[in-house]
Amino acid sequence: MPRYLRRSAVPVLALAASLGCAGVAHAGSAIYQYEVEHPTYGNIGTYTNTIDQRGDTVDVETQLHVTVRMLGIAMFRQDATRQEHWEKGRLVSYQSDTDDNGKKIDVTGKAQGDAFVVLSPLGTFTAPPQVHPSNPWAPQLLDTDTMMSTKTGKVTKVAVTDTGETNVTFDGQTMRLRQFFVDGDKHQVVWLDRNGVVVAFQTQEQGSPINFVLQRQPEPLAKN
C-alpha cells in the first residue's frame, strides 16, 4: 500500500481556494512520486514531479519510468524526461525526451507573443497562451480549455468538469477526494485532497485505465 495512503486519514474535503490560487501546497520546492498502476499488470513503474517554485516562477521536471513484464520478460518500456518553465501562471517553455519502447519522441515548446508554439514529430502546433501540459502537478493546471500531450506535443481542446467530492479507493484505502474529469481526445480523471495536493490521476492508454497514485507526502528539496 502506498505510504502516502497509509499515513492519511480519510479527509473531509474543503477546498476554500479557487483553481486559480489553490497551488499554495506547491510553494517552495518538493518531490511528488507516483506509482504507475495497470489494471492487468499491476505496478509497472514510477512517475515523479520535482517542483521548484520561487515567487511567480515555477520549474517542473518530470521523470517517467515504465516497464511491462510478462513471465518476467520485459515486453514494453517507456522512459521520459520533461521540463516545464512557468512565469506568472503561464507556460513559457517546454521540453520532453521520450523513449517509447525504442522509438524516440522529442517535443519542444515556447511562448511566442500571444501563442505557444509546439514542435513535435506530429508537426507544428500553435496553441493559445492558456495551454497546459497534461501533467496535473497542481490544481491550477485544470483551469484551462486547451491541453498539450506531454508525450507527443499534440494540442487538444478539453472540457474540465468538477464533479465534487467522492469516495475513491486506491490499494484498499478509501479516501474522500475532490474529483475532476478532463475530456478531450481521451478521458482523464484527477483527484485532489483538501490541501490541493494531487493524490492521484488517471489516463487511458490503449483502452486501459492507468492510475498514478501518490506514494508519500511531498519531500522538500534540500536548500543550497
pLDDT digits (tens, 9 = 90+) for 62-82: 999 999 988 888 889 999 999
SS (H, E, C) 133-182: ECCCCCHHHHCCCEEECCCCCCEEECEEEEEEEEEEEECCEEEEEEEEEE
Range with the lowest mean pLDDT among 6-15, 73-82, 187-196? 6-15
What pLDDT was estimated at residue 207?
Answer: 82
How many other CB atoms are found less than 10 A from the CB of residue 4? 24
pLDDT digits (tens, 9 = 90+) for 147-184: 999 999 999 999 999 999 999 998 889 999 999 999 99
197-204 long-range contacts, CB within 8 A, separation 24+: 197/25, 197/32, 198/32, 198/136, 198/137, 198/138, 198/139, 199/4, 199/170, 199/175, 200/34, 200/168, 200/170, 201/136, 203/134
